[in-house]
């Protein structure tokens, strides 16, 4: 299934010295199926996984990144793969409820089977008010499968409004309703990551990280109160993110890199040419913010 297209000598990078102050790529995917500004073909997604793996990148969730809660083999680099919008070809099930072959999850699972060092540890941001993964009947089993694989689920608001265009009460409803349904679908799971629709912050900006909403989830129902406190808020795109181990990380505005051509190759080549800019693990556990800012 995989057409690597990589020269054999690229398969093993030279050993890299630990660099706990280096940068981390938080990648973002939207649609799958064909190559576009917001889309990645499955063939290119296969190549992305192979290329990252061969260059010594190892996947961690956004939650692990911000908490510093990851211990990777010495010489490897964490990378965060995020998936926004719960689009149709991210996660598909067959009518019988099995993972269908034509989805990003199936491609990653197949890759992880032959490359166990690159497990399905991604972060999926969904909008509960939309047709999540375009298969209403399977929303909960899909989210539960992602969690079982070691992935993370995050809030992307209820129905993907531009938060800047809403009143503070409207912002609270958008985030709160998203949080409400995610919590109802995953009752034992704490949502700690939030993705801003269009990368646009609300006013006041602090509502994206923490807040509360009281309202009715349906007419005639008793009002509910929902609170949220997110440890990671991500933007849409720009460049790599800072090391989470260095004090002062702005967890309320984390930059991401959109995976399309030529953006992804640009940053892969950038870190190949400037390995000193790259976070390199020393094989030991650490906590977020332990290194003083310089």
Q: Report the C-alpha gap between 279 and 240 in whole angstroms.
A: 11
- Identify which of residues 160 and 251 has a Cβ nearer to Zn ion in the complex: 160
Helix H segments across the chain? 42-54, 62-67, 104-114, 139-148, 168-185, 263-273
Interface stretch with Zn ion, choices 31-39, 45-53, 67-75, 83-91 (CB under 5 A): 83-91
Least distance (Å) between residue 155 CB and Zn ion: 11
- Identify which of residues 30 and 63 has a Cβ nearer to Zn ion in the complex: 30
**Could you tell me if 95 and 33 are in contact, meaning their C-beta atoms sit under 8 angstroms apart?**
no
Q: Taking CB under 5 A as the rule, which mask of x and - marks residues 42-81 in contact with Zn ion?
A: ----------------------------------------
Q: Report the C-alpha gap between 144 and 165 in whole angstroms.
A: 33
First to last CA, the chain: 46
Question: Count residues contacting Zn ion (CB under 5 A)?
Answer: 2
Least distance (Å) between residue 204 CB and Zn ion: 21
Residues forming beta bridges with residue 262, ordered by sequence position:
none
- Identify which of residues 233 and 246 has a Cβ nearer to Zn ion in the complex: 233
Task: Tell me which of 53, 84, 152, 174 binds Zn ion, using CB under 5 A.
Answer: 84
Q: What is the dihedral of CA 26, 239, 245, 199, to 10 degrees?
A: -60
Q: For tokens 């953006």, name the residue.
A: 263
Q: Which residues in the 98-137 window bind Zn ion by CB under 5 A? A: none
SS3 44: helix
- Identify which of residues 207 and 246 has a Cβ nearer to Zn ion in the complex: 207
> Does 85 engage in binding with Zn ion (CB under 5 A)?
yes
Least distance (Å) between residue 203 CB and Zn ion: 19
Least distance (Å) between residue 160 CB and Zn ion: 6
Taking each continuous run of H as one helix and of E as one strand, the counts in the chain are: 6, 12
Residue with smallest beta-carbon separation from Zn ion: 84
Residues 6+ apart with CB under 8 A from 232: 62, 63, 65, 66, 154, 192, 193, 194, 251, 254
Least distance (Å) between residue 30 CB and Zn ion: 7
Least distance (Å) between residue 146 CB and Zn ion: 17
- Identify which of residues 82 and 135 has a Cβ nearer to Zn ion in the complex: 82
> Does 161 engage in binding with Zn ion (CB under 5 A)?
no
> Does 174 engage in binding with Zn ion (CB under 5 A)?
no
Where do contacts with Zn ion occur on this chain (CB under 5 A)?
A: 84-85
């Amino acid at each position: 299934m995989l057409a690597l297209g990589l020269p054999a000598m690229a398969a093993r990078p030279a050993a890299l010295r630990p660099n706990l102050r280096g940068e981390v790529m938080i990648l973002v995917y939207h649609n799958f199926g064909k190559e576009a500004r917001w889309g990645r073909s499955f063939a290119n997604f296969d190549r992305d996984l192979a290329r990252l793996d061969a260059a010594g990148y190892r996947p961690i969730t956004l939650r692990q990144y911000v908490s510093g809660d990851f211990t990777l083999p010495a010489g490897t680099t964490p990378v965060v793969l995020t998936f926004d919008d719960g689009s149709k070809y991210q996660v598909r099930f067959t009518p019988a409820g099995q993972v269908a072959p034509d989805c990003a999850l199936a491609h990653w699972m197949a890759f992880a089977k032959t490359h166990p060092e690159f497990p399905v540890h991604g972060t999926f941001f969904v909008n509960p008010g939309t047709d999540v993964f375009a298969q209403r009947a399977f929303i909960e089993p899909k989210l539960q499968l992602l969690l079982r694989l070691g992935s993370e689920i995050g809030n992307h608001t209820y129905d993907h409004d531009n938060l800047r265009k809403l009143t503070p009460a409207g912002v609270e409803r958008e985030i709160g309703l998203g949080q409400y349904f995610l919590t109802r679908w995953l009752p034992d799971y704490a949502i700690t990551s939030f993705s801003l629709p269009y990368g646009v912050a609300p006013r006041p900006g602090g509502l994206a990280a923490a807040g509360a909403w009281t309202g009715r989830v349906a007419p005639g129902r008793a009002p509910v109160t929902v609170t949220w406190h997110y440890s990671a808020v991500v933007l849409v795109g720009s460049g790599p993110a800072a090391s989470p181990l260095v004090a002062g990380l702005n967890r309320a505005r984390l930059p991401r890199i959109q995976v399309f051509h030529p953006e992804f190759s640009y940053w892969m080549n950038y870190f190949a040419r400037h390995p000193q800019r790259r976070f390199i693990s020393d094989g030991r556990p650490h906590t977020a913010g332990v290194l003083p800012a310089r």
